[in-house]
Amino acid sequence: MSALLRVSSLIAFVLLWQLTAVLLQSPSLPPPAAVFERLIDETASMAMPLHLGITLTRVGVSFLLAMAIGTVIGIAMGHWRRLDTFLDAWLVLGLNIPALVTIILCYVWFGLNDWAAIVAVAINKIPTVVVTVREGARAIDPRLMQVAAVYRLSRWRTFSRVYLPQLHPYLMAAARAGLSLIWKIVLVVELLGRSNGIGFQLNVFFQFFDIAGILAYTLVFAGVVLLAEALLLRPLERRLTAWRG
Amino acid sequence: MLDIDIIRKTYPDRGGRSHVALADLRVSARAGEFLCLVGPSGCGKSTLLNLVGGLDRDMEGQIRFDDQAGGAGPGFMFQEPRLMPWLTVLDNVLLVSTPAQRERAVTLLQAMELGEVLHAYPGRLSGGMQRRVALARAFVNDPALLLMDEPFVSLDAPTADRLRAMLVELWQRCRSTVLFVTHDLREALALADRVCFLSAAPGRVVLELPVALPRPRMPNDPAVLALQAQLLAQHPDLLTGLIAGTRVTDVPNPQGNETDA
């Protein structure tokens, strides 16, 4: 039933698009068929897979970097009150600094290269991971930690089997919110300072007023995001929360 | 052999002043002995177990345990089951053990009638079953020392009796030294080789009582009830804090006088 609803919602969207395009008859809104044709051309020429691959790599690396660093800082801040107080102002600054500012500064300081791009994206994301994970670290159940202590579990076992599972819901929330933010920032980073990737391509299309190209890339990108959600995040979440049954 | 000699244990209360939880508390238990500590609420029983279990090391005095087996920590049962909700029943037991002990853990759980739910998550089990898992976890390493902090409170009477029977059976097989804390006098009399009574805070031992009743015994056995009635008669002042914890209506009974003689 819900699958049927999802499919009919998709069909309704395409129909609406077709209808609007026919009514407007304007080059700024090509009909779906033209966009799909364009999509196939771009795929056949390998241009799209190449740029998509590069963008996805940047997304993946900066996502992992932001999650790892954000988790460590979040746990530390949730644990040590003084560190929390000390870093709190930095965190507020990090949460509120515009993405554009970090991107420009990273390019200026580290040069127009991939590492600057990835660092810029990660810096934008780390504060939100920290805030979420810190909440989780504060909610750790001391009674379960006592079980680990009284049975003399090793540090690693305590961390992986007793501590980390308590953080899972928070890490999942951070990952979800993280991916959707990182997709968007990576495109801006590419537009501003890289000569490949989807963000760069969109800028090229913009300059040639190639609306079909822009829409084709957008569609593929949206498709990839949906796939990542369905094939990676949701199964992972299902596995981690199996015990809630 | 377990030797507890606590000169003073204090901790800061909410106002920041220091509160004496235990003072001049001396208890020792022979290897393999089942020792019950009975005391009113707030007399520092849990504090004492945390000290013995090594969860808290901040005190004046010393606690010695000559562990012939060596190695692993004590078995510990808390007031709540405290199982990891994300681990299955078997994994909860193996968490405190080694993979090599898998077979032993399975046998233990099967003996406790948990064979059907080895791979279920604790959230699906009843309170009584969760306690049984916690009991299996406490015994899986054959601990030389077993610490129990009112592990059977908030269970209905038949379930609690069943768990007590399982505990005694496991203890008789493993020959662990058991330190069992409770505020329920009948429970203590039903389980222990020896009962130590603690005073209100700061807790110290005010009376020791060897219990020579034959096993198996249950809290509702006439002999246990008689012994309780006799104790209440002999030391009314001592046990005032405890009567509230036990069901007073159960205490006087006609059979009591027969076994008294």
pLDDT, tens digit, for every residue of B5-61? 888 888 877 777 788 888 888 888 898 999 999 988 777 888 889 898 888 888 888
* Global ipTM: 0.84
Is B260 a residue whose pLDDT tops 50? no
Question: Which chain B residues are within 8 Å of A142, Cβ to Cβ?
Answer: none
For chain A, which residues lie within 8 Å of any Cβ of chain B, measuring from their own Cβ?
143-144, 146-147, 149-153, 157, 161-162, 165, 168, 240, 242-245
**Cross-chain Cβ contact B76/A150 below 8 Å:** yes
**Cross-chain Cβ contact B95/A151 below 8 Å:** yes
3-state secondary structure of B251: coil
Average pLDDT over residues B233-258: 52
Q: Is-contact A78 A137, C-beta < 8 A?
A: yes
Q: Is the residue at B54 inside a domain?
A: yes
The domain ranges of chain A are 30-244
Q: Is-contact B39 B186, C-beta < 8 A?
A: no
Question: Which chain A residues are within 8 Å of B85, Cβ to Cβ?
Answer: 243
pLDDT of residue B242: 55
- Cis preceding linkage at B216, omega within 30: yes
Strand-pair category, B60-65 with B34-38:
unpaired
The domain spanning residue B162 has which CATH number? Answer: 3.40.50.300
Q: Is-contact B76 A150, C-beta < 8 A?
A: yes
A162: closest chain B residue by CA: B84
CA distance A159 to A144: 12
Question: Which chain A residues are within 8 Å of B55, Cβ to Cβ?
Answer: 146, 149-150
Contacts of A29 (CB under 8 A, 6+ apart): A20, A21, A211
Res. B217 pLDDT band, cuts 50 70 90: confident
**Cross-chain Cβ contact A245/B121 below 8 Å:** yes
C-beta contacts of B107-116 below 8 A and 24+ residues apart: B108/B136, B108/B139, B108/B140, B109/B133, B109/B136, B112/B136, B112/B166, B114/B89
Average pLDDT over residues B54-79: 80
Cα–Cα nearest to B244, from B183, B195, B189: B183
**Cross-chain Cβ contact A146/B121 below 8 Å:** no
Question: Which chain B residues are within 8 Å of A240, Cβ to Cβ?
Answer: 86
pLDDT in tens, B102-138: 999 999 999 989 999 999 999 999 999 999 999 999 9
Q: Is the residue at B253 inside a domain?
A: yes
A153: closest chain B residue by CA: B96
| Number of domains chain B is built from | 1
Is B89 a residue whose pLDDT tops 90? yes
**Cross-chain Cβ contact A243/B86 below 8 Å:** yes
Q: Which of A140, A141, A146, A150 is the best substitution to test chain B (most B C-beta atoms within 10 A)?
A: A150
Cα dihedral value B98, B102, B108, B112, nearest 10: 110
Q: Is the residue at B118 inside a domain?
A: no
Is B252 a residue whose pLDDT tops 70? no
Mean per-residue pLDDT of chain B: 84
Q: Is the residue at B242 inside a domain?
A: yes
CA distance A90 to B114: 52
Q: Is-contact A32 A18, C-beta < 8 A?
A: yes
Helix or strand holding residue B53 (H, E): helix B45-53
- Sign of the Cα torsion B102, B106, B111, B114 reads positive
Question: Exposure pattern of B237-256 as b/e (b: 16+ CB <10 Å)?
Answer: eebebbeebbeeeebeeeeb
- Angle in degrees, 0-180, between the axes of helices B102-111 and B127-139, rounded to the nearest 10: 140
Q: Residue B26 sits in which domain range?
A: 2-74+143-260
Res. B71 pLDDT band, cuts 50 70 90: low
For chain B, which residues lie within 8 Å of any Cβ of chain A, measuring from their own Cβ?
53-55, 72-74, 76, 78, 80, 82, 84-87, 95-96, 121, 123-124, 147
User: Which ranges constitute the DSSP H helices of A139-233?
Assistant: 142-150, 155-157, 164-193, 198-207, 211-228
Res. B228 pLDDT band, cuts 50 70 90: confident
Q: Which of B96, B137, B147 is the best substitution to test chain A (most A C-beta atoms within 10 A)?
A: B96
Q: Is the residue at B107 inside a domain?
A: no
A30-244: in CATH 1.10.3720.10: yes
What is the number of residues in chain A? 245
**Which pair of tokens denotes residue B91?**
């994994």
- Cis preceding linkage at B202, omega within 30: yes
Is B251 a residue whose pLDDT tops 50? no
**Cross-chain Cβ contact B95/A244 below 8 Å:** no
pLDDT of residue B245: 41
Helix or strand holding residue B139 (H, E): helix B127-139
Kindly give the parts of chain A with pLDDT less than 70.
none
Q: Which burial class, exposed, middle or buried, applies to A209 when counting CB atoms under 10 A from its CB (0-12, 13-18, 19+)?
A: exposed
Q: Is the residue at B180 inside a domain?
A: yes
**Which pair of tokens denotes residue B49?**
């177990």
pLDDT of residue B241: 54
Q: Is the residue at B130 inside a domain?
A: no
3-state secondary structure of B126: coil
B135–chain A nearest CA distance, Å:
13
Among B73, B80, B84, select the one facing A150 at the smallest CB separation. B73
**Cross-chain Cβ contact B84/A245 below 8 Å:** no
